[in-house]
Amino acid sequence: MIRSGWLALSVVLLATPPATAQEWQQAEPGYPWEFPNDHWAHVGYRTEWWYFVGFADTADGSRRIAWQFTLFRTGLTLGAPPAAPSPWETGYVAMGHAAVADLATGERVFTQAIHREVPGLARFGTHPDPEIAWMRGPPGTADPWFLTYRDGVFRFGAADNQRGLRMELSALPTQVPWLHGEAGHSPKSEDGSASFYYGHPRLEVTGSLELGDTSVEIAGSGWMDREFGSTWLGADQSGWDWFGLNLGDGRDLMLYLLRRRDGSLSYTDGTLRDADGGMSRRVRGAEVDVLDTWMPPDLASDDEGTRPYPAGWRIRVPGENVDLIVRPLLPNQENRRPADQAGPDIPYWEGAVRVEPAGSGSAGSSPGRGFVELTGYRSDVAFAGLAPDTIGNSPDAPEGRQDTMMEGLMDGITFVFRWLHVFVGIIWIGHLYFFNFVNGQMTAKLDGATKQKVVPELMPRALYWFRWGAAWTWITGVVLLLLVFWHGGLMFDPGDGWGGGAIAMVLITFAAVFVYDALWNSGLKSNVRAATIVSFLLLAVAVFLFVNVGAFTPRAVLIHTGAMFGTMMAFNVWFRIWPAQQRIIAAVKAGEAPAAADPALAGLRSRHNTYMSLPLLWAMANEHATPFFGGNFGIPGDYYWVAWLVIVAIAWHVIFQCYRIAGRVSGM
């Protein structure tokens, strides 16, 4: 339900004061839903979240587990982008909550992570990129938190090494999206506050969970809630009770009750869905009675303003044959920020419940289950997250700022290397194109005496910038590969990582140059067409292995192909072209004809570099090549790498045409 409304208020502490709600897009009736696009983030809305909860049994049936995974995106400012936008000019904060509970032993672990939406900390994707959200985990945990959607399946994961919590789950919706309110427009008060709200109450969930020292494979069911908007609670509202219940007869009930600051009921709404997932009806007259309460152990019942959490309910929906008793499966399912973590501490109760019919014939005789969320009950932390301990432990506090400062430093270093990489790359590739499209054609027109004067003066100067441009382009490129991909979290899809296959493919990236050099030193080089076909087939094998052995992301496949080309090109410059050119210059300066093998070698490898340069430039424009990663232009998602090979072939043809044009261009 509107669980992120109050969480959004808490993260205001992380930046400058937010824009007013009127500056953000408002949830108005008639929203044109489009799935799966609406699973991704929405620009212009203040707050949105992706909420997954569920039940799971271990493969051997020995343990029953309840779990929660939630990602929030909250806007802080909304305005015109700066003239020169920086990735560190962020208007959003990302926050994640995760919990795992063993329902037999009562053991339960909760953790959270919170970061600004900036490179290296958190990001939100756009359709059709499978990545919906990615963020760093809490301190001491290298594995990121993530959410993806591909081929109709959600995949998500979270980890906290210090608390022994880890989950990697796949969730398959079994029915169409469930729109709440009026066609997905969900009011929160009588004064117009509203959000866009849909969900999937029946998910088939598989994957792995870790609690403590034990990691188990699980299968079970789940519930997804998805909501976005800009205006949530009214001025007099202070919290809510939310119910997401799978009834014993196969129906599903979502119900929320918003409370005023004095505890009285402010607004209620809900949706009831038939067992087949076909018909849904809005529920406005539900009756909810509290049967029991639970007080957090760290609070005294006589604390001023403290209200215990409800811990049992009777829910009636007149006219719908719904009369239910709902009770927690564990009493203490309160989410509190771990004491050693930065960020806001906004306690709320988020727990698994058992659902039973209150009377014979009501909602079937089989028990159901679900989740309940309760907010705004505690008095020891202010509603807006402005309590002293929240401020002191926020990432804007001195201790919390250390990680952000380090990330800022790393981002600054990365930018400097990008700048240098582009600069030296222009020097190198510019000279490469000069040699192949201008200089070669010009020197062919010179007589021997003129060559003897021009070549010793021109070529050493040009080759100086050419070879050192190549060296520094390769060096800065490898540094960027380390910073942006190997360290920056762009190498693997969620759930994959640095296994033996990935390490082997990185080694192949830099070792492939020796295969290339051996091929073009062999007798096959006399048959250019055959050698080119073999080279392309070997390239196709390498790209295929990047995908299927290395498990690289599409961007990582591109950049490692580019690194492979770049390594071959730099090798050619320093170990084939430059030595041959030294011998050629010496011969011309002495008035002798160069050995025939030297111009042939230098010319061939320079020509190879020219052909490799254009796909290399495509790979360098890596972040902007995502439209070709599948899902657009009829490219299947699993075969984007074939499209990449087609792009390489097209780039080679473009260079071929450039050579043809260069041969036709004449001097004055």
Cα angle for residues 481, 483, 487 (degrees, 5° grid):
100
Treating both helix axes as pointing N-terminal to C-terminal, what angle do 448-480 and 578-589 enclose, rounded to 10 degrees? 160
Q: What is the structure's pLDDT at 609? A: 97
* Residue 139: predicted pLDDT: 82
Beta bridge partners of 124: 133
Instruction: Tell me the three state secondary structure of residue 14.
Output: helix
Q: Which residues pair with 423 in a beta bridge?
A: none
Residue ranges of the chain with pLDDT lower than 70?
1-22, 77-90, 232, 300-306, 342-343, 359-365, 379-408, 493-496, 626, 630-633, 637, 668
- Residue-level pLDDT at 443: 80
C-alpha 158/C-alpha 112 separation (Å) is: 9
- Per-residue model confidence (pLDDT) at position 406: 60
Rounded to 10°, the helix 401-434/448-480 angle is 160
d(CA 366, CA 610): 71
Q: Are 291 and 304 in contact (CB under 8 A)?
A: no
Q: Which two tokens stand for residue 504?
A: 């082997």
Classify the phi-psi angles of 184: left when phi > 0, otherwise alpha if psi is within -120 to 50, otherwise beta: left
- Where in the sequence of the chain do the CATH 2.40.370.10 domains occur? 3-399
Architecture of domain 3-399: Beta Barrel (2.40)
Q: pLDDT value at position 391?
A: 30
Nearest to 34 by CA among 190, 196, 277, 238: 196
C-alpha to C-alpha distance for 581 and 492, rounded to whole angstroms: 42
Report residue 414 as tokens: 């990365």
**What's the pLDDT at 1?**
57
What is the structure's pLDDT at 80? Answer: 44
User: Encoding tokens for residue 45?
Assistant: 């809305």
Residues 6+ apart with CB under 8 A from 395: 14, 114, 115, 116, 342, 343, 401, 403, 404
- Which tokens belong to 580? 């041959």
Check if the beta carbon of residue 4 is closer than 8 Å to that of residue 75. Answer: no
* Cα-based torsion angle of the residue sequence 631, 636, 637, 643 in order, rounded to the nearest 10 degrees: -100
The pLDDT of residue 24 is: 86
In this prediction, residue 89 carries a pLDDT of 58
Output the pLDDT for position 561.
Answer: 97
Indicate the pTM of the whole model: 0.60
Strands 265-273 and 348-357, bridge-based pairing: unpaired
Q: Quick one: pLDDT at residue 628?
A: 77
Q: What is the per-residue pLDDT for 21?
A: 42
The per-residue pLDDT for 238 is 81
